[in-house]
Each structure stands twice: as structure tokens, then as C-alpha cells.
Amino acid sequence: MATEAPPPARNGTETDRGPVPPTTEQFVEVQESEEFGELRRTYRSFAFPLTLAFIAWYLLYVLLSNYAGGFMGTKVFGNINMALVLGLGQFATTFLIAWLYSRHAANRLDPKAEAIKSRMEGDA
């Protein structure tokens, strides 16, 4: 029994087995496009500064913990000292950055990425 050849593509974007994946050339073309460059710039303009700021904030906490024991031991109220307040601030900052990134991605990155994806898939 002979095997059947795959059915011909309809309008160049779909076969009976589903959408035809983009070619390597199409991926390269999109990667070099201005629209994709704008998407990357939008991502980087948010992610890089926030990453650097958080690393600086974390290193400040570590350095204060190692070299400013008197300051970190300063009582804020009751048995709560600066070390605990700044340490909990690290957790709060982490969650704040995650929330900000989620909003940024939903409002600025996802629409641009979806437009590129739709064009790559040929609205199949």
C-alpha cells in the first residue's frame, strides 16, 4: 500500500493538517524588522533599568548587613530593627517589580508581540 502525499497548501498558509509554520527566512525578516526592534526596545527600556536598580538595592542591603551593624541594629519600634525592615523591603520590592512588569507586558509588550505573531501566522 502506497502512502499518500500531503495535501497541497491552501492559500500558502494552511494544509489539512494545520497551519504551515513560517520559514527561517520569514523569522529572520521579522527579527530584522523595525516593529520587532521596537518590541525589543520597549522590553529593554523597562527590564534593564529595573534589574540594575534592584541589584543595587540588594547589594546595598548586603553591604549594610556586613559593614553597618550598628545602623542595621537600630531599633525602629519594639524588637523590630532596620535589618528586618530592609529585609522585608527586599520581598516587597520583588513583588512590586513582578506586578509592574506584568502590567507593562500586558499594556505595551503583548499587543506588539500579538501583532507580529498574527502576521507570522498569516491570520490562520
DSSP for 24-53 reads HHHHHHHHTSHHHHHHHHHHHHHHHHHHHH
pLDDT string in tens for the chain (124-residue length): 555 555 555 445 555 676 778 888 888 999 999 999 999 999 999 999 999 999 999 999 999 999 999 999 999 999 999 999 999 999 999 999 999 999 999 999 999 999 999 888 874 4
Work out the burial of residue 116: count CB atoms within 10 Å of its CB; fewer than 13 is exposed, 13-18 middle, 19 or more buried. middle
The pLDDT of residue 124 is 45
The pLDDT of residue 121 is 84
Q: How far apart (Å, rounded) are the C-alpha atoms in residues 109 and 79? A: 44
User: Considering the entire predicted model, what is its pTM?
Assistant: 0.74
Residue 67 backbone phi and psi in degrees, to 5: -115, -5
User: For cell 545602623, what's the residue?
Assistant: 71
The pLDDT of residue 21 is 81
